[in-house]
Chain A
Amino acid sequence: GESVGLHLPTLSVQEGDNSIINCAYSNSASDYFIWYKQESGKGPQFIIDIRSNMDKRQGQRVTVLLNKTVKHLSLQIAATQPGDSAVYFCAEMDTGRRALTFGSGTRLQVQP
Chain B
Amino acid sequence: SQTIHQWPATLVQPVGSPLSLECTVEGTSNPNLYWYRQAAGRGLQLLFYSVGIGQISSEVPQNLSASRPQDRQFILSSKKLLLSDSGFYLCACLRDGNTIYFGEGSWLTVV
**Chain A interfacial positions (CB closer than 8 Å to B):** 32, 34, 36, 41-46, 49, 89, 91, 93, 95, 97-105
Contacts and interface: CB of A to CB of B under 8 A. Distances in A.
Could you tell me the dominant secondary structure of chain B's interface residues? strand
A93 B57 CA distance: 16
Interface string B44-88: 111001010000010100000000000000000000000000000
Contacts, number: 54
Given A43-B104, A49-B99, 19 more contacts: A41-B107, A43-B90, A43-B102, A43-B103, A43-B105, A44-B90, A44-B102, A45-B102, A46-B99, A91-B100, A93-B98, A95-B98, A97-B57, A98-B49, A99-B59, A99-B100, A100-B44, A101-B46, A104-B43
A100 B46 CA distance: 8
Interface of B: 32, 34, 36, 42-46, 49, 51, 57, 59, 90, 94, 98-105, 107
Nearest to A31: B98
A105 B42 CA distance: 7
Contacts of A104: 42-43
Given A34-B100, A49-B98, A97 B49 contact: yes
Contacts of A89: 43-44
B99 A105 contact: no
B43 A32 contact: no
A99 B49 contact: yes
A99 B46 contact: yes
B105 A42 contact: yes
